Structure 1
Amino acid sequence: AVIFDLDGVITRTALVHSTAWKEMFDTYLRFREDRYGEPFMEFSHIEDYLPYVDGKPRYKGVASFLESRKIDIPFGDPSDVVEAETACGLGNRKNVVFNEILDRDGVKIYESTVDLIHELKKEGIRIGVASSSKNCKAVLEAAGLLDLFETRVDGVVSAEMGLQGKPEPDIFTMACDNLGVDYDRSVIVEDAVSG
């Protein structure tokens, strides 16, 4: 089997995520500057997104980045409103921004990856997608690719099943289990350091 990550591997949404994270965090860091007098230091793709956020489940990414900046706020609950000053509230804000960008700009795909998936399927190789994103299904639908995969293990499934996020291998092993394929007979195609 071959298990593909979504963002940055199948779809060109890694930049959309990075842009949404930057917009949300820069707004929050400006708020902290105004409210608490903390010096504003903008969110950086290289120094912040890649090491602390990329590939991680949303709330874990928020907590990781805030910890790197020594910002201590409550973790909160996934049901927190976007105005809540919690890791979950900030994560929910990012998701709103992400969906606004997606609605405005659409989803671009990596044609070479989609071509590879079609070739692998012709050879009888089982194909799955494993992503930390809770938007995985919506992104695949928007790109017209949902039917390419025999299994999808994403942020929604992870939450329902209590799976650990990357760097733990849970989403990948669950995808292999769903396909009935041994782990040592599978290949993972991933772009994030945490993956």
Structure 2
Amino acid sequence: MLGLPDHVTACLFDLDGVLTPTAVIHNKAWTAMFNEFLKARGQQEFDPVHDYNDYVDGKPREAGVRDFLASRGITLPEGTPDDPPGAETVWGLGNRKNVQVLKLLDEGKLEPYPTSVTYLRKARAAGLRCAVVSSSANTLQVITNTGLDQYLEARVDGVTIRERGLKGKPAPDTFLEAARELGVEPHNAVVFEDALAGVTAGHAGGFYVVGVDRVGGKHADDLARSGADKVVKDIGELLEEQS
């Protein structure tokens, strides 16, 4: 069904890079924030390809900040979620990055990937349960503004992670929580992910994992090594398999 194993009854979609091109916005925001921070310390600029994929993509903001800083040998106080964007703390830098994201979202209308919308519509028509699982605290805003909320029965995101004390990706907690909300077992659900951390999380949770390689095949091997059962360049390829 829809290019998936017959036992699948639910779909768990990552947001950024799977349903919407917000990964591009997040990448720009991380790059701008870190470059400003690194310039003041005379360090090499943030690499929007390798640093983004290796340290921040798919993770909660504070985890991305923490992991990237560690890669540069930088240690900052943890701070708190309420730290202002100007604070020199892990949470402060994360909040500074979020200011950049909101600014970029306000500058232009964000549209979901057309093939992802088609897949969501067909999945719901086929009776599959659907949820969005993202580390972003802006998930509700994005799915509402793009109209994706009409296809999604559950949402586990950055806000959920904080409120319920979940571990973010690459831990499987968020996907397991979404499956619980939908009332399905992990082996009956498929995870759609473009981030290595997300693929690792889905695999660790016992889900069937579809890796989405949005960079023209350059990421396919890494996704497979991280645990993807199948890798596609676009979700629409799964529909083509059924035609």
Bin for the TM-score computed over the shorter chain: over 0.9
Deviation digits for residues 17-72 of structure 1 (CA, Å, limit 9, x no counterpart):
00000000001111223xxxxxx311111221110000000000000000000011
User: Counterpart in 1 of 2:202?
Assistant: none
Report how far residue 75 of structure 1 moved.
Answer: 1.3
Q: Percent identity?
A: 47
User: Counterpart in 1 of 2:195?
Assistant: 192
Equivalent in 52, 55, 59 of residue 56 of structure 1: 59
User: Counterpart in 1 of 2:150?
Assistant: 147
Segments of 5+ residues of structure 2 without an aligned counterpart are: 1-9, 199-243
Alignment of 1:31-110 (within 5 A): 31-33=40-42, 40-110=43-113
Question: What is the DSSP-based 3-state SS (H/G/I as helix, E as strand, rest coil) of the residue aligned with 2:46?
Answer: coil
State the structure with bigger RCO (CA 8 A, min sep 6), 1 or 2: 1
User: Counterpart in 1 of 2:138?
Assistant: 135
Instruction: Compute the RMSD of aligned alpha carbons.
Output: 0.8
Answer yes or no: is 1:26 the counterpart of 2:29: no
Equivalent in 100, 104, 120 of residue 117 of structure 1: 120
Report how far residue 147 of structure 1 moved.
Answer: 2.0
Alignment length (residue pairs): 189
Equivalent in 3, 18, 21 of residue 12 of structure 1: 21
User: Counterpart in 2 of 1:36?
Assistant: none
Q: Which amino acid in the other structure matches residue 34 of structure 2?
A: F
TM-score where L is the length of structure 2: 0.76
- Runs of 4+, deviation exceeding 6 Å: none
Report how far residue 106 of structure 1 moved.
Answer: 2.2
Partners of 1:13 and 1:108 within 8 A in 2: no
Deviation digits for residues 130-180 of structure 1 (CA, Å, limit 9, x no counterpart):
001101001111212122100000010111000100001111111110010
Report how far residue 78 of structure 1 moved.
Answer: 0.8
Question: What is the DSSP-based 3-state SS (H/G/I as helix, E as strand, rest coil) of the residue aligned with 2:77?
Answer: coil
Segments of 5+ residues of structure 1 without an aligned counterpart are: 34-39
The whole-number CA distance in structure 2 between the counterparts of 1:142 and 1:72 is: 37
The whole-number CA distance in structure 2 between the counterparts of 1:12 and 1:43 is: 20
